[in-house]
């Protein structure tokens, strides 16, 4: 019996414990006040209307939120006078906010407090309404200053709205701002005036944002306070009435990647200068390029940053004054750049060949014959327009058995062409005959250096001049060897080549070393081939044009577009790489252009000059 009693007690205890652990959990509310709601004790929302004069009314809003996934039906206990519900939703969408608007319209002085209950399903919220009835106030009477607005667009100005302060002068009563409207083609917004109350004797105002500003338009703006409206007539003109500037246009130039500040000052023809209320750069995308630096009431600075080497930056400065004057100043900014125009020269080579008439040259007739054959091949296959003239190394008085050419081209009687080109009829035969003059048995003295000077210029073309001397004897020119390099250079002879005696002729070597060229002994096989290669190499070098004024390259020896340097052909940019020809500015002083453009092509070089006002590492 005792054992059975213990078993029942255990079963009973187990059942009681299980019932205790399976109590339902607390349900989270679905309806709540929105964040930011002022809550009092017990989570009651506090809605305080403050003091409202008898005969007046005030509104206040409370926001609730449905946290659930289903719509909520909202029930509200209507308050008694002097409180009332202006607007309340019947349902609240899932996970949404809803606003309830209450009105307080006191009919007697003193405090009024009521609590309104909101119900949604099993949730309850309470809102405590509180207000105080104040004494009856006088009607609001106010005026606007100025009593009318005359606005200007500025000559050539953009269609920008006006943001203008308008004064409020209250003569009687307590005036609560309610709104503003525009009549006509204007639009109006009031900045930051919601729930503002204006009192007599207190200086205050509104900031009106007026749009639709076009010349010739008229209309009105109506400001409403406590049920009363005051009209503000508006008319729009183009030119400002009083304010002018010291410049009609501000043009600014700065070194590339530098800045400069221009000064702008204002003056008034109507007495004191009105107050500047707005200063803008238009269009806004140019604002990083132009910047307004306010100085004082009568002047300011316009800062320009020259980051575009080629483009002329244009904008306008728009300056609004509190009397309705708008002053528009066109702004132009550009980087300081220099321009040089050059032209691609003809690809012409004027070649003078001097042949020794000394009897010793007979031993090398085979060399001259091979030279004549290969020279003709060079003429017809070269990318250059080659023109060849021939004379001898004999200079002085004629000897009976050895007439002196004295630099004149062979043949002296012009019985066949003296200048041979690729298109010369029978050009190869003519060239060969010109290169085999009558050899003097005696009396011939080789004066190759004098002969070059006597023959120059041997062509009336504007080609590159070079000379080749084929001699069997040492040079016997009268002058000192050291004087000939400058004489050659003054006659624009770029290179001097010699196929000469073995051992070498020291006088010829001296001139070649100073002027540039090559000496090949006549006693070696095909000595002229290296000379033709050297001519090709020289003629294929990039064209060099002096800039005249150094370019700012930031210290770089070779500079292109990355340093703000540009080359144009027919106003189209010529890329330094990847285009028809390459180019580079070398050592700030020279434009070097590869061959490839047709002769006569004009190149316009635009570059930032050295030195720069803002870079200490000028190149």
Question: Residue 420's domain spans which residues?
Answer: 348-539
Q: How far apart are CA 526 and CA 373, in angstroms?
A: 11
Q: What is the pLDDT of residue 616?
A: 53
Q: What is the pLDDT of residue 4?
A: 45
Please check whether residue 190 lies inside any domain of the structure: yes
Q: What is the pLDDT of residue 354?
A: 96
Residues 231, 258 within the same domain:
no
How many other β-carbons are positioned within 10 Å of the β-carbon of residue 439?
18
Residues 551, 522 within the same domain:
no
Residues 598, 468 within the same domain:
no
Residues 355, 396 within the same domain:
yes
Residues 57, 181 within the same domain:
no
Q: What is the pLDDT of residue 504?
A: 86
Domain stops at, among 196, 212, 237? 237
Q: What is the pLDDT of residue 617?
A: 43
Tokens representing 581 are 């020809």
Please check whether residue 230 lies inside any domain of the structure: yes
Residues 592, 469 within the same domain:
no
Mean pLDDT split into 10-residue runs, the chain, 619 residues: 40 42 60 92 92 85 93 93 94 93 93 95 93 83 94 89 93 89 91 85 90 90 92 94 94 94 95 93 88 88 94 94 95 96 92 91 90 96 95 84 90 95 96 90 81 94 93 88 93 95 88 92 92 94 95 95 96 94 96 93 96 65
Q: How far apart are CA 550 and CA 556, in angstroms?
A: 12
Q: What is the pLDDT of residue 287?
A: 79
How many other β-carbons are positioned within 10 Å of the β-carbon of residue 135?
8
Q: How far apart are CA 186 and CA 191, in angstroms?
A: 16
Q: What is the pLDDT of residue 161?
A: 92
| Coil, strand or helix at 363 | helix
Cα-based angle 528, 459, 513 (whole degrees, multiple of 5) = 45
Residues 527, 557 within the same domain:
no
Residues 501, 369 within the same domain:
yes
Which residues on adjacent β-strands are paired with residue 591? 545, 585
Q: What is the pLDDT of residue 340?
A: 97
Please check whether residue 170 lies inside any domain of the structure: yes
Residues 275, 307 within the same domain:
yes
Cα-based angle 558, 561, 564 (whole degrees, multiple of 5) = 100
Please check whether residue 419 lies inside any domain of the structure: yes
H or E stretch including 130? strand 123-134
Q: For the stretch 258-294, what's the b/e string if a residue is b when 16 or more beta carbons lie within 10 angstroms of its beta carbon?
A: bbbebebebebeeeebbebeebbbbeeebeebbebee
Dihedral sign (CA 581, 582, 585, 586) = negative
Residue written as tokens 């079963």? 11
Domain containing 230 — which CATH number?
A: 2.60.40.10
Residues 393, 426 within the same domain:
yes
**Which spans in 22-81 are helix H?**
none
Preceding peptide of 503 cis, ω within 30°: yes
Residues 475, 405 within the same domain:
yes
Which residues on adjacent β-strands are paired with residue 341? 604
Please check whether residue 6 lies inside any domain of the structure: no
Domain stops at, among 134, 165, 196? 134
Beta strands 141-145 and 123-134 are: unpaired
Domain stops at, among 200, 216, 237? 237
Domain count, the chain: 5
| Coil, strand or helix at 312 | coil
Q: In the structure, how many helices (H) and strands (E) does the chain have?
A: 7, 41
Domain containing 487 — which CATH number?
A: 3.40.50.410
Please check whether residue 596 lies inside any domain of the structure: yes
Please check whether residue 295 lies inside any domain of the structure: yes
Residues 309, 176 within the same domain:
no
Please check whether residue 616 lies inside any domain of the structure: no
Dihedral sign (CA 207, 209, 213, 216) = negative
What does DSSP assign to residue 322?
A: T
């Amino acid at each position: 019996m005792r054992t059975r009693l213990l078993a029942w007690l255990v079963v009973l205890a187990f059942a009681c414990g299980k019932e205790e652990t399976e109590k339902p959990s607390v349900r989270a509310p679905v309806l709540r006040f929105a964040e930011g709601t002022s809550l009092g004790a017990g989570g009651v929302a506090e809605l305080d209307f403050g003091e409202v004069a008898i005969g007046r009314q005030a509104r206040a809003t409370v926001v609730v939120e449905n946290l659930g996934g289903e719509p909520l039906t909202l029930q509200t206990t209507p308050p008694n006078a002097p409180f009332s519900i202006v607007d309340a939703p019947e349902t609240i969408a899932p996970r949404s906010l809803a606003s309830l608007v209450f009105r307080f319209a006191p009919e007697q002085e003193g405090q009024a407090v009521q609590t309104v209950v909101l119900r949604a399903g099993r949730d309850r919220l309470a809102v405590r309404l509180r207000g105080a009835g104040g004494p009856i106030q006088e009607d609001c009477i106010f005026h606007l200053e100025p009593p009318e607005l005359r606005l200007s667009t500025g000559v050539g100005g953009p269609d920008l709205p006006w943001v203008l302060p308008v004064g409020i002068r209250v003569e009687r009563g307590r005036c609560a701002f309610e709104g503003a409207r525009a009549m006509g083609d204007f639009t109006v917004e009031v900045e930051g005036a919601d729930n503002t109350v204006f009192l007599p004797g207190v200086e205050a105002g509104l900031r009106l944002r007026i749009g639709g500003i076009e010349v010739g338009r008229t209309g009105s703006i109506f400001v409403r306070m406590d049920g009363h409206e005051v009209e503000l007539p508006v008319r729009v003109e183009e030119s400002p009435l009083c304010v002018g500037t010291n410049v009609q246009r501000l043009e600014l130039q700065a070194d590339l990647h530098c800045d400069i500040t221009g000064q702008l000052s204002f003056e008034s023809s109507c007495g004191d200068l009105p107050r500047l209320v707005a200063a803008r750069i238009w269009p806004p995308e140019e604002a990083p390029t132009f910047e307004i630096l306010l100085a004082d009431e009568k002047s300011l600075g316009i800062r320009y940053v020259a980051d575009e080497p080629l483009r002329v930056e244009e904008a306008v400065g728009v300056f609004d004054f509190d009397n309705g004057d708008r002053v528009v100043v066109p702004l132009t900014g550009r980087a300081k750049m220099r321009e040089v125009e050059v032209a691609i020269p003809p690809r012409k080579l004027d070649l003078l060949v001097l042949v020794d008439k000394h009897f010793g040259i007979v031993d090398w007739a085979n060399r001259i014959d091979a030279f004549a054959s290969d020279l003709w091949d060079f003429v017809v296959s070269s990318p250059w327009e080659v023109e060849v003239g021939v004379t001898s190394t004999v200079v002085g008085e004629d000897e009976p058995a050895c007439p002196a050419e004295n630099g004149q081209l062979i043949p002296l009687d012009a019985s066949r062409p003296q200048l041979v080109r690729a298109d010369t009829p029978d050009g190869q035969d003519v060239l060969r005959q010109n290169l085999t003059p009558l050899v003097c048995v005696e009396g011939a003295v080789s004066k190759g250096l004098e002969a070059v000077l006597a023959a120059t210029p041997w062509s009336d073309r504007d080609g590159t001049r070079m000379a080749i001397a084929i001699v069997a004897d040492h040079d016997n020119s009268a002058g000192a060897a050291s004087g000939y390099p400058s004489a050659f250079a003054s006659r624009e002879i770029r290179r001097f080549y010699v196929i000469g005696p073995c051992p070498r002729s020291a006088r010829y070597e001296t001139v070649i070393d100073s002027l540039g060229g090559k000496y090949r002994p006549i006693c070696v096989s095909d000595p002229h081939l290296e000379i033709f290669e050297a001519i090709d190499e020289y003629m294929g070098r990039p064209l060099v044009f002096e800039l005249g004024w150094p370019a700012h390259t930031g210290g770089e020896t070779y500079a292109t577009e990355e340093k703000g340097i540009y080359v144009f052909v027919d106003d189209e940019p010529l890329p330094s790489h990847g285009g028809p020809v390459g180019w580079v500015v070398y050592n700030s002083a020279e434009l070097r252009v590869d061959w490839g453009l047709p002769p006569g092509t004009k190149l316009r070089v635009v570059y930032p000059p050295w030195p720069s006002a803002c870079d200490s590492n000028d190149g």
